[in-house]
Amino acid sequence: MDTVHHIDALRAQLQVWRREGARIALTPTMGNLHAGHLRLVEAARRRADRVVASVFVNPLQFGPNEDFDRYPRTLDADADKLAGAGCDLLFAPSVAEMYPHGRDGFTVISVPRYADLLEGAFRPGHFDGVATVVNILLTLVAPDVALFGEKDYQQLLVIRQMARDLHMPVEIVGVPTEREADGLALSSRNQYLLPAERAQAAMLYAALQRVGEALRAGRRDYAALCATEIERLGNAGFRPQYLTVRRPDLSEPDAADREFRILLAAFLGKTRLIDNIGLITETV
């Protein structure tokens, strides 16, 4: 696997592969890779002849009081993991390479349908930053397929909507969430958790599961189900921001629905965690 830091070098390698008629996949990441990221690369390997991974901690998607400065940067270890997973090319640009004229007044991509919903309500501007950087990466690489994890489910919908609206000739694929043995969704931010917090963190997945079991049993009192679990999490020391039942497109469900996405976000100590599950129930 080769590593490039500059757009010219990225384009030069892609040009060679395109002349060969290769199908190209892209897996964008912010680095500090874990098994969930590597599943993206492995899934990309099955769908394409050549796999490009990017590692870029994008300042546009961090709010002023978020963890941009302390977000873990582990490029050498990331490169070793990507090579072992079958990646062909790592693109690891600097902020100056991606935004050479600075960020003030920079063109921003916004997806209004999802920008202010759930995650967007608690992280204003976050999805504009996500859509903008993914747009840049898709423009630079022009992949046939791009893969994203379902743990960031709303992000996946933002990217799919952007690709559709802008007529991008790319298939956007969601890859199921990788979890620890106790159910905690893998995340680069899990390492912020103190040992006692890590032992508690699996309660988030358990809460999602309980809501899912109630839906499978036929309950459709969505707000009451979520309120019960929010109270349980709050009593255990979490600071929940939301726990909600939605349709797969994140619109509000009604009593006749049978396909759902259950999503949550909560602080545990100083660490903000998100998770979600999807399910299809029997006809009500």
Burial of residue 280 (CB within 10 Å: 0-12, 13-18, 19+) is: exposed
Phi, psi (rounded to 5 degrees) for 215: -65, -40
Place of tokens 């590597």: 38
Report the relative pairing of strands 259-268 and 238-246 from DSSP bridges.
antiparallel
Cα–Cα distance for residue pair 67/150, rounded to 1 Å:
22
Neighbours of 16 (CB within 10 A): 10
Structure tokens at 63: 């709010």
Q: Is 243 helix (H, G, I), strand (E, B) or coil?
A: strand
Query: Is 6 a catalytic site residue?
Result: no
Residues sharing a CB contact under 8 Å with residue 248, sequence separation 6 or more, in sequence order: 259, 260, 261, 278
Q: Which of 5, 6, 34, 37 is catalytic?
A: 37
Structure tokens at 66: 């978020």
17 — phi, psi (to 5°)? -65, -35
- Tell me which residues are annotated as active site: 37
